[in-house]
Chains A and B, each alone.
Chain A
Amino acid sequence: MAKLRIRKSNHAMNRSLGGDIGINLVLLVMGAFMFLPMLYTVMQSLKPLDELWQYPPRFFVRNPTLGNFSTLLNLMGSSWVPFSRYIFNTAFVSIIGTVGNVFLSSMAAYSISKMKFPGKKMLFKFVVWSLMFHTTVTAITNFWTMSKIGFVDTYLARIVPACATSMGLYLMKQFMDSSVPNSVLESARLDGASEIRVFWQIAMPMVKPAWLTLVVFCFKDLWNAGSSIYIYSEQYKSFNYAIQQIVTGGISRQGAGAASTVIMMLVPILVFVITQSNIIETMSTSGMKD
């Protein structure tokens, strides 16, 4: 079972003082490089117009205002399709896609990890192999497939492919391999529980960290999705796409643009903060054998 080790003391062997200082210095510099642009986004979103166009530019805001956020709300009110529709689209696709992916991936992962039947190794190899290429390779051809089965310009174009990600199956399977003891499943089977019941009532509660991880990974992808080549109609487009459209409308909208970015980034960050320890536990089992 993958258990995280919490180190008891920070002082360990083989640690020189110079090395400690060097490491902390590098962390400080890199941390600043990672963090300051994020902070700058928040600062920009809080700046009133005159501070946004100030010369020389300042990093920190002097008179913070929520004006940019209300400008953003006003801009939303003047969009083609009622703005709530875009929010609904993103929420709907994110939730259904995430739930679908967690269900389908864990079903398949359980089957491959805990049951024995011909062909399962090969099926898993396909998934590992597909981790090696990015979806840009498949996007164009999928457009053809989707037009043949009538998915183009529907919610299905976004939801269905998101329901079976190779990452989802891979993480679930690796975690089940190391965290669900076969003996527990075996005794449940001997008690006469059906395979579906063993999966749902015994295995699934034991892999909670893995499906929480999958929820985060899947949700952040769907939440952040912008324009899609499979969607033409305005009423199916995503929140991220719409917000991009209105904030790129003019230079005076820079503040509103920053405000929209802040709104977009808050949700995935919040979800990650809540689930962090579960995610780290899952990733510790994600290793790949040569």
Chain B
Amino acid sequence: MKRYFIYLPLLLCSLAACREAVVPTGTTDGPPVIFPDYAGVTVPATIAPLNFRVESADYAAIHAVIEGSRSGRIEARGGRRAAVSIPPGEWKRLLADNTGSDLSVTVSLRQPGGWISYRPFAIHVSGYPADYGLVYRLIPPAYEVYGKMGIYQRDLSDFTQTALLENTLIPGNCVNCHSFRQGRPEQMSLHIRGPYNATVLTSDGGVDLYDTKTEQTIANCVYPYWHPSGGYIAYSVNETRQVFHEQRDKRIEVVDARSDVVVYDIGKNELLSCPQITSQDAFETFPAFSPDGRTLYFCSAAARVIPEEYDQVRYDLCSIAFDPESGTFGQEVDTLVRAAATGKSVSFPRPSYDGRYLMYTLSDYGNFSIWHKEADLWLLDLHAGLTRELTEVNSSDVESYHSWSSNSRWFVFSSRRTDGLYSRPFLASVDEAGNVSKPFMLPQKDPGMYDSSLYSFNIPEFVTGRVELDARIVGRKARSGERIQMKYSSRAVSGRGL
């Protein structure tokens, strides 16, 4: 037995010797082209290790030295064409020690002539905390048919991804439109579409399934947005269809033939609305409450003949007053961004929770911007009334869905910039002065996951804590047909004259 104790240090020494010392024999002028692109990004101090690989050169091994401007130093390595694997514990300490300052990353590659070093690049560690994690749907960028999909949560501080609800539990159904009350994990809304059609609402551990279609509304409720009080959820009801392009740069057009906005009063089990948001002459969609709960933002377009005039539908950004005490709406609709007048179209209005900004997507027409390569993010300063393109985060490909962190200092958005088809989540920060940082892609233990995964990250939403959803209860209730029927309020007045 004693012999083993003698051999053990020798074995450890020999293993350590395998870790070849990195002595650069040459340097290059520029920084390396890395994937994901983390050069010059700003990250929260709780982010998972930013493992990356070098794209611009072939290599037998990769080595990175990450040094904090205040203190700390990490060495990370990777194999042939692989990503560096940053030790999570050391990374966590390095970020904690350098919050509010920069990290410097020096990359070296082992190539036939020896180790080549690149010019270092910086990563800024933000002083703004980010939320616990993200919730997103993983779904292939499919057309009409869907296979396996699910809604997942991801802890931002490590690489843990757990399934909240997969459609393996309810075969043949689609799960979509997850939404939280200002990122709080206790209150969640999501839809099941298919044979087990239902809207799932969770509140403080309870799970209820609803039938949201009423005689007075044109379809099931979709695109939820929680009222800050938790007492209401705004939905739109859309008669949606898809058409398919034959030209190379376009694939799918998702169009609404009719759409209205409604507000669900959870306590009274009543759908509320008013003629201004249920007009026959307009398509109203994508509702969102202001942080004080007294304004309802939505997109509105003049009605067109669908699908013939699908490319003539252009949405403005509008708002209407909402009184949460009485559940009534104001008389006037304000138009905040007249996009239609400039030949553009607004979708996904999302006000920051501090009430300062409203972020939206701008595309050439329609509202389903994920299929529009020209779609970009824009930011409306609600205090100054000024709107601007978010050039800091936009790319030549799609930027579409976006969501704010609970402190309004971070936002996550989906972009198809990596390959033009598969949506990936990117995070960026906004400081008090409205300066927006270079976005970074959600880190993965192996960034090669983004190459091999045939799923898009759909509807990325921040959550402030871990979502506790018992999928088995949802599955059981879904299969049982147990539903609460939503009722259309007698107080609601529809513009459709129903």
Asked if A and B bind, the verdict is no
